[in-house]
Structure 1
Amino acid sequence: METKDNIIKKYRNYLLLEKSLSPNSIDAYMTDLDKLSGFLGDEGLKAEDVKLDDLQQFIAQLYDLGINARSVARIISGIKSFYNFLVLDGYMQADPTELLETPKIGLKLPTVLSLDEIEKLMSVIDLSTKEGQRNRAILEVLYSCGLRISELTKLKFSDLFFDEGFIKVEGKGSKQRLVPVSHTAINEIEKYLYYRREMDIKKGSEDVLFLSNRGTAISRIMVFHFVKQYADQAGIKKTISPHTFRHSFATHLLEGGANIRAIQLMLGHEKITTTEIYTHMDREYLRQEIIEHHPRNKK
């Protein structure tokens, strides 16, 4: 088999000359192929050795990230196109994508906010109040770091490593992971801390980051309440919750070209994320994935 780079070059020419696709469409197909290549590299597989089961596992990971059906369908279309090319040009005998099912667009998957909707929601928050600045910081952390609501409410001062650009998160099963945090989220937290210093903090909550007006850890119900309130004020018709920001985090990173395995590590999915696994990943690499592909880090 020819080198990977040579095959990719031929595939790009196939899309341009034989399929007559526009440069933007070709770039989209190549981005989809990059996602698959990243998965295959992590699994130690070559493109020509892929079986249907491998592709189904790849698609399952996309669903696990909360990627919407339309995006998954587009990625599958790109994969099918590539393997169709490999068969047509004689690189493979059989097409492993032949039985790969494309999701129905109407399939019920987690709600995802567009970047424009996130901006609209953020814009209705009254930042002149301590509650408003706290809530803005909370939403920025949920969106910029992809945290579960339970992980956010347990965040502590001692979990913040702003100089290094990370926060420490305690996920399911008390498993801990380090997650890159955007400059935008850091900035909003620091603004909130100005108000927090003036609060009457109850004993035992001194190290808790996000506090209620009573000086204790903010509750999940309270976050659910103000997310719905801001969505209504912003005119967003979708039914959303704090978890929507986690799905949006994953979707926007993936659509921006981030590596799937890196996203899974940052989300803390139990199947692949343990403290031991994380120590074998380059922390600077994970941070670079956030910096390069998350909308909050793009100027």
Structure 2
Amino acid sequence: MRLVARLSRWLALEGMDVEGLGASEVDRFVRTRRAAGPQLRSIKALQPLLAYLQSRGVVLPSPRAPDDPADELLERYQRYLAIERGLGKATADVYARMVRPFLRHRLSSDGRALDLAGLAATDVVTFVVARCPQLSRGAASLTVTALRSLLTFLHVEGLIAQSLAACVPSVAGRRLAGLPKGLDCDLVQRLLTSCGRDTSNGCRDFAVLTMLVRLGLRAGEVAKLKLDDLDWRTGEILVRGKGNCIEHLPLPADVGEAVAAYLRHGRPRTAQGRTVFVRVRAPHNALTSAGVSQIVAAAGCRTGLGRIHAHRLRHTAASAMLRAGASLPEVGQVLRHRRALTTAIYAKVDREALRTIARPWPGEVA
């Protein structure tokens, strides 16, 4: 409503009515608001209002900009990832974002076509060598992975004569080099205690944190949880994981109690849809994965631990299972790892098992 009021005042100052609002006028308004402050960063905030005015015939639709050949190809690539490779939309979006600079380098001088026929291995290596030093190790590793996937897609589509995926250099970095950063039991208790369960907001946050700590779910898996996924009779929960994998996990009693308390006392009656966790403020739409991450970050700030990422609670759940005597294969089953090597990193924090293979220090202790 504030944006509508500002637009109305700007039209009055310019001596125009809403019928005179066109693409150039919208662009002028956006530039004016940017100069006044950071409240309006792009035209996207105006799209709902403009769409409504266009549907009422008050404002003429803006002329459609010519299609970007790179964006057109990326849309086809994302459909390929979703249909042929079985990746989720969020992952496909990340892959497309990572390889967009590579395709932008292949645009013709007029920007209307992509030069892919002359693509060679040297072009691929040159891009990786120039791009990756600007990124973190994780982002660089994801970039080369996405680039290999794109080059495979281009070959499958017949846009390049041979696959150049093998020409993409690898990013230096040893697997399993770091340590999983879990939280100690007392810190976990401080996180949970920081949620005031006498409010709907605190009731929801407590249920989310309990689910993350006890089951080791990912933020996106908690956000996608639906009411029908909770089988109270059998004590199971259905999890929609990465790659559209659907698996069942046992529902611990404390997790069930926290979720049930939220459903009884915290979830708004006006909640939209069938997702378990929804926004506190209206409209009460489904909570996103970013919203789940924000819950964890806010709890960390309340307890003086700083900003904590939701995935750190997944490490916490794995470490807790190891301390309780679970084996690595059992931990991998709960975390739903596809490869045993992914779970192997937790062997570094299994102190009891490490003591059995540690050799005694030579000589006497000084």
Task: Give CA-to-partner distance per residue, 1:96-142, whole Å, 9 cap, x none.
Answer: xxxxxxx9xxx633321111000011111111111110110011111
- Partner of 1:123 in structure 2? 193
Contact in 1 for aligned 2:267/2:278 (Cα 8 Å) = no
Do structure 1's residue 157 and structure 2's residue 227 form an aligned pair? yes
State, as a whole percentage, how many aligned pairs show the same letter: 28
Per the TM alignment, residue 196 of structure 1 is displaced from its structure 2 partner at its CA by 4.7
Instruction: Give the Cα separation in 1 of the matches to 2:179 and 2:278.
Output: 32
Q: Secondary structure at the match of 2:179?
A: coil
Contact in 2 for aligned 1:143/1:246 (Cα 8 Å) = yes
- Partner of 2:284 in structure 1? 215
Task: Give CA-to-partner distance per residue, 1:199-246, whole Å, 9 cap, x none.
Answer: 3122xx1x2111113221112222222322221221225x52111111
| Change in CA separation of 1:260 and 1:119 when aligned onto 2, cut-off 3 Å | same
- Partner of 1:112 in structure 2? 182
- Partner of 2:263 in structure 1? 193
- Partner of 1:227 in structure 2? 296
Instruction: Give the Cα separation in 2 of the matches to 1:225 and 1:180.
Output: 26
Do structure 1's residue 270 and structure 2's residue 359 form an aligned pair? no
Alignment equivalent of 2:328, drawn from 239, 252, 260: 260
Amino acid in the other structure paired with 1:271: R
Instruction: Give the Cα separation in 2 of the matches to 1:123 and 1:152.
Output: 20
- Partner of 1:245 in structure 2? 313
Instruction: Give the Cα separation in 2 of the matches to 1:175 and 1:149.
Output: 15
Contact in 2 for aligned 1:141/1:181 (Cα 8 Å) = no
Please, which runs of 5 or more residues in structure 1 have no aligned partner?
1-102, 273-299
Per the TM alignment, residue 177 of structure 1 is displaced from its structure 2 partner at its CA by 1.1
- Partner of 1:42 in structure 2? none
Task: Give CA-to-partner distance per residue, 1:236-280, whole Å, 9 cap, x none.
Answer: 25x5211111110011101211122122111111237xxxxxxxx
Contact in 1 for aligned 2:229/2:237 (Cα 8 Å) = yes
| Change in CA separation of 1:108 and 1:262 when aligned onto 2, cut-off 3 Å | closer
Instruction: Give the Cα separation in 1 of the matches to 2:252 and 2:331.
Output: 15
Please, which runs of 5 or more residues in structure 2 have no aligned partner?
1-173, 341-366
Amino acid in the other structure paired with 1:121: L
Aligned length: 163
Task: Give CA-to-partner distance per residue, 1:1-30, whole Å, 9 cap, x none.
Answer: xxxxxxxxxxxxxxxxxxxxxxxxxxxxxx
Instruction: Give the Cα separation in 2 of the matches to 1:116 and 1:143.
Output: 13
Instruction: Give the Cα separation in 2 of the matches to 1:175 and 1:220.
Output: 17
Scaled by the length of structure 2, the TM-score of the pair is 0.42
Scaled by the length of structure 1, the TM-score of the pair is 0.51
Larger CA Rg, structure 1 vs 2: 2
Alignment equivalent of 1:181, drawn from 246, 251, 255: 251
Please give the root-mean-square deviation of Cα atoms over the aligned residues, in Å: 1.9
Instruction: Give the Cα separation in 1 of the matches to 2:247 and 2:179.
Output: 26
- Partner of 2:145 in structure 1? none
The equivalences for 1:49-198 within 5 A come to 108-196=178-266, 198=268
Q: Secondary structure at the match of 2:247?
A: strand
Contact in 2 for aligned 1:159/1:168 (Cα 8 Å) = yes
Instruction: Give the Cα separation in 1 of the matches to 2:189 and 2:270.
Output: 32
Which protein, 1 or 2, shows the higher relative CO under an 8 Å CA cutoff with sep ≥ 6? 1
Per the TM alignment, residue 197 of structure 1 is displaced from its structure 2 partner at its CA by 5.4
Instruction: Give the Cα separation in 2 of the matches to 1:198 and 1:228.
Output: 23
Contact in 2 for aligned 1:199/1:215 (Cα 8 Å) = no
- Partner of 1:13 in structure 2? none
Instruction: Give the Cα separation in 1 of the matches to 2:250 and 2:216.
Output: 10
Instruction: Give the Cα separation in 2 of the matches to 1:243 and 1:182.
Output: 20
Contact in 2 for aligned 1:178/1:266 (Cα 8 Å) = no
Per the TM alignment, residue 163 of structure 1 is displaced from its structure 2 partner at its CA by 2.5
